[in-house]
Structure formats: C-alpha cells, structure tokens
Chains A and B, each alone.
Chain A
Amino acid sequence: MTDVWTDRLSEYLDEELSASEREALEAHLPECSACAQALGELRRVAARTGALEDRPPADNLWPGIAARIAHKGEAAPRGLGRRFTFSVPQLVAAAAALVMLTAGGMWLALHSGDGGSSLAVRPAGTQGQPVSTAASNFDAAVTDLQRMLNERRDQLDSATIRVLEENLAAIDQAIAEARAALSEDPSNSYLNQHLATTMWRKVHLLQRAATLTGGAT
C-alpha cells in the first residue's frame, strides 16, 4: 500500500493540500482501496485522539515537590526582587495556623483506624529522591536557616523571637511524634506525607523568620 498519495493522507485530513491536489486525491480514492481504507483508519485515529482525557498520576506527587522546594531554601520564587515584611501579629497568626495544621494532622493520623492508608499517597521522598535523602535535605536546610537566624537574632524583637521559638518547638514536637509513629508503621503513606508536609512547614516558617532579618530572600 504505497503510492504517491499514501503519504499525503494526513495532509488531506488536515486540509493542508492545495485545491488541485485535493481534487486529484479525491479522484484517486475510489480507485485505490488501500488508500481509502487507510484514510478511514486515520479518521478513527483522529477520533480516538480527540477522546483522550487527562488523568492525574496514580500517586500524590506533592510531598516530593514540597520537599524539593523546601530544600531550595527560597522564601519566595525567584524574579521577585523584594522582601517580605511581617508584623508580629501576622507572624503569630501564621505560626498558630501552622501549629493547628500540624497538630490536627497528627491527631487524624494517630486516630484513624487504618492509619490513613486509604489515601492514595506515596511516602515522602519516593518521588524522585529516597526518604533518607529528603530527610537529609531537610536537616541541611533547617541547619542553614537556624544558623542564619542565630546570627541575626538581634534584628528581631523579643516578642517575635518568643513566638517563633514557641511555635518551632510545637512543630518540632509534631515532627518527633510523626517520626515516632512512622517507626511503628514505616509504610503508612499518610504519616509519610504528614511528616514531609510538617518538615516543609518548619522550613517555610524559618524562611519567613529569616526574611524578617533581611536574609533568605
């Protein structure tokens, strides 16, 4: 099934042939069963292609993305060229929200009958990097940010420092509890996701605090 028109069938379907070429091909089709059959099949391919639907990934990729973003140690996307300014009440509100989220997440994780395993979530770090690597990245990011904060601690007022330390302690406790729970149930996907999210929230809070001192922009 190869003749001069075989390779032009797609162009015919896409209406890209000149008028004379189109006329010649249409005259050819009744005489060539192979081209006529191929054209019909190409039309069916086009119809099948048009019916394709988007579908999400089988696993939740967000924890891996969150870990990678946190590892980059950026308080905001590049290209902004500006710094955040927060009032103490804003910081308090943000930190309180983080603590509520982490505490609520832990409660759900620890009190759900099946450990949350019904959620279609892959354990943190398995999306492109192993758990140990994700944890290592997190520790490195936290160490850098805390060092930066310590160096510039005198640029924050005492109320901000107190709120920050209280809420970092609460998040650390949530992380410790998640790690303890995971030691009992390492494959629990919800706990893995929760741990990754909580770790990321800690980095994010530290980033915001560091931004207040003029660092980590």
Chain B
Amino acid sequence: MEPVALREYSVTGERDRRRMSSDAADARRAAKGDPEAFERLYHANVARVHSLARRMLGEQDADEATQDAFVRAWEKLGLFRGDAAFGTWLHRLAINLFLGRRAKRAKDWERMQGGQELVEVAGGKREGLELHIDFEAAIGRLPSGAREVFVLHDVEGYKHHEIADMIGVTTGTTKAQLHRARMALRRYIER
C-alpha cells in the first residue's frame, strides 16, 4: 500500500504559524527524550486526535485509542523529520493506527461487508428518537466501512484514491460507502 500525500493543517493566521513552530520545537525536544515537551504536544493535539478516534472507532474506544496513538508517536518520534507539521504527522500515524485497530474487529468487518441492511433501514423511516441524536453520535452509528470512508473523506478531506489506498479497496467501493453513509445521516439532520 503506497503512502498517500500528507494532509497539512490549514494555516489561517499568525496564531496557527506560532503553534506549528512551537510544535516543531517541542517535537525536536521530545525526540531527544524530553517528556515535558511531549506533554505539551499532547495538550496541543489531543482534541484533534481524540475527535478522530471518536468518529472512527466510537466513544467507547476513543480514550484508549488516543492513548495508543500518543504512545506510538513517542516511540516513533525519532522518525519524524519535520517535513510536515507535527500535527499532520501525528494525525496520519493515528489514522493508520485506528484503521489497523478497526481491522481487528472481526465483527465490525462483517458489518462493513454486510452493512447494507443497516443503511437501508437508516434511510427509511425518519420518525422517532433518532432525530434528536447528536450528529457526532450518528456518525458513530454508521456501519464500520461507511464510517471510516465518511470520516476520512468528508471530515478529514482525503480523496477517494487516497482512502482506497489506506483501506485496500477500490475507489468504486469508497464512493459507494460514502454515499451510503451520507444517505444514512440524513435522518439525523434537523428539518
């Protein structure tokens, strides 16, 4: 599986630039074994990583998965070359970790292959409590395959061919999964 282009943080102003510079300096210190620098990197990046984990893996697994991502990042810091922003590097590392974690879930994998029923049900009747469920929680209710594609494409901004490379499927599959996810999420949008 070929690595895909790293998606950079969008830099919108001086504050973002200072943050990236600060992260880069802390990454260098952490790579030399400075735990306080790594703790600062944790606080600066945990919201993004935890949100990714929550959306890809669900609320229940998000804390543990986030911890795993930061521990893995600590182990791999020596490989961070600074070509991309630290946040970008960390985010990509987390995506790979979470995708691997998902792959171990045999049950979810089955749901991914056989998720049609769930999506069709979701796209049918719209009455009931579902209307009141938080949109974030609704993402977590998507069948596993559709959820990862939706998060990576619509939330994280990856392209279909990038996602197809990450997951090991065709772009036809990612497009189908994305459409199913969006159709299922319509019921959670207030009208």
Contact = CB atoms under 8 A, between A and B. Distances in A.
Given A45-B189, A75-B33, A204-B35, A57 B182 contact: no
A55 B67 contact: no
Given A45-B185, A75-B33, A61 B48 contact: no
Contact of A52 (B71, B135, B175): B135
Contact of A62 (B42, B48, B64, B178): B42
A207 B51 CA distance: 33
Interface stretch (A5-13, A150-158, A172-180): A5-13
Interface stretch (B72-80, B94-102, B106-114): B72-80
A56 interface: yes
A77 B50 contact: no
Contacts, number: 115
Contacts of B39: 62, 66
A41 B186 contact: yes
Contact of B32 (A44, A59, A76): A76
B46 to A, nearest CB: 5
A207 B34 CA distance: 12
B77 A77 contact: yes
B183 interface: yes
B35 A42 contact: no
A174 B6 CA distance: 44
Main secondary structure of the interface of B (DSSP, over half): helix
Interface in B31-72: 31-33, 35, 38-39, 42-43, 46-48, 50-51, 62-64, 66-67, 70-71
A80 interface: yes
B154 interface: yes
Contact of B31 (A11, A41, A61, A76): A76
Contacts of A182: none
Interface residues of B, number: 40
A68 B47 contact: no
Interface residues of A, number: 43
Contact of B64 (A45, A56, A127, A204): A127
Contacts of B77: 77, 79
A190 interface: no
Nearest to B35: A204
A61 B38 CA distance: 13
Contacts of B47: 54-56
Which of A7, A9, A49, A127 gathers the greatest number of chain B CB atoms within 10 Å? A49
Interface of B: 30-33, 35, 38-39, 42-43, 46-48, 50-51, 62-64, 66-67, 70-71, 74-79, 135-136, 154-155, 175-176, 178-179, 182-183, 185-186, 189
19 contacts: A7-B179, A10-B175, A38-B183, A45-B189, A49-B154, A49-B185, A56-B50, A57-B50, A59-B63, A65-B70, A72-B75, A78-B78, A79-B78, A80-B31, A127-B63, A200-B35, A201-B35, A204-B35, A207-B33
* Closest 6 pairs between A and B when the two form their complex, measured CB to CB: A79-B78, A76-B33, A77-B77, A10-B179, A54-B51, A41-B186
